[in-house]
Amino acid sequence: DKYEIQILYTQIDRDENGEIKFNTFSFNEKPKKYFYPASTVKLPAAVLALEKINEINVDGLNKFTHLSIDSVYEGHVSFGKNYKDECGYPNIANYIKQIFLVSDNESFNRLYDFLGQKEINERLRNRGFNNTKIIHRLEVARTADQNMQTNPIDFYDESGNIIYHQPERYDSIDFKLDLENTIRGKGFIQNDTLVKEPKDFSHNNYFGLRDQHNLLMRILFPEEFSKEEQFNLTLEDYKFLKKYMSMLPRESECPKYNSEEYWDSYVKFLMFGDSKEPIPRNIKIYNKVGDAYGFLTDNAYIVDEENNVEFFLSATLFLNENQIFNDDKYEYEEIGFPFMAKLGKIIYEYEKSRK
């Protein structure tokens, strides 16, 4: 169990009437054994941001609405009403695009500001995702207190008038999960210094593999779930999520991505993680990956319409030989990506033969 591999695989069978049956298999699934989810937490953030917009229900407010974020707390970064980037004014839609296309951290952090710690977790719990806690931003160093704070956000109409104001909030709520193995390794780098003691992950995000797998299934096949289990999304929201979840960086018009830096499998580890070659056109992958601290995860729905293949596959493994965190010495290239690619291909080939 050195690599702490966990795998979930769901077969999708359709009868002559189009009725769908799911059949899920697991390997070494350990729901209470901690692994760091890294960027996989961006998937629920994207879904919940769209749901929240629908529930605010203000005329003119949608995922494409121009927004600004102020900074009232120390350490947070703001941008004003007139801020633009290459794709125009910031909006929720562009954050979601960048989350799926290249796993952009700042985009997630802006959605975190929009949702807030308490709301993210309560919305997930209300849908039955009880093995998940999302309690901090990504890539930026923030205290637990700062991660309970969210900044004020304004949304504007085309004339520049504020149509919706969300004030700053402080969510002083503690999300505890009964997880094993949250004290990890031999040391970690902090402020360029090696701290020779295990790293405590008990105050980090967690997104159980089964929760990841089930959430993706609900986005791809919402009609197969009860009304209580479905998210409050429009048909257009589902199309939007599917479009950008499966889009490759080179297919994006805005932002434009350099394919040398962002190759096809940049955020598609299963089946293709070991190669920078173009992904065949007949294969579409709807997924969200995560990699940090040596933890490598992919949660995917893989489709090949030419060969009538479709399946869900989620896997996570741990690759940190020296047991030091934050030193960027992880065995992703040597072991992790080849494993993910091979696993994806084995299941794909099996599915091709499973008619």
Class of domain 6-353: alpha beta
3-state secondary structure of 313: strand
Tell me the C-alpha to C-alpha distance, in Å, between residue 82 and each of 94, 97, 107, 161.
16, 21, 18, 12
Provide mean pLDDT across the span 262-280: 98
Residue 79 burial class via C-beta count within 10 angstroms: exposed 0-12, middle 13-18, buried 19 and up: middle
Question: What was the pLDDT predicted at 307?
Answer: 96
Tokens of residue 345, six digits:
């291909």
Question: What was the pLDDT predicted at 270?
Answer: 99
Pick from 78-82, 294-298, 334-338: least confident? 78-82
pTM: 0.96
Residue 231 in this model has a pLDDT that exceeds 90: yes
Separation of alpha carbons 184 and 179, rounded Å:
12
User: ω into residue 255 within 30 of 0, thus cis?
Assistant: yes
Question: What was the pLDDT predicted at 18?
Answer: 87
**Percentage above 70 pLDDT, the chain:** 99
123-162 confidence digits (pLDDT tens): 999 999 999 999 999 999 888 899 999 999 999 999 999 9
Q: Of 209, 162, 182, 285, give the one whose Cα is nearest residue 25.
A: 209
Domain definitions of the chain by residue range: 6-353
Residue 38 in this model has a pLDDT that exceeds 80: yes
pLDDT band at 328 (very low <50, low <70, confident <90, very high): very high
- Residue type at 280? P
Question: What was the pLDDT predicted at 268?
Answer: 99
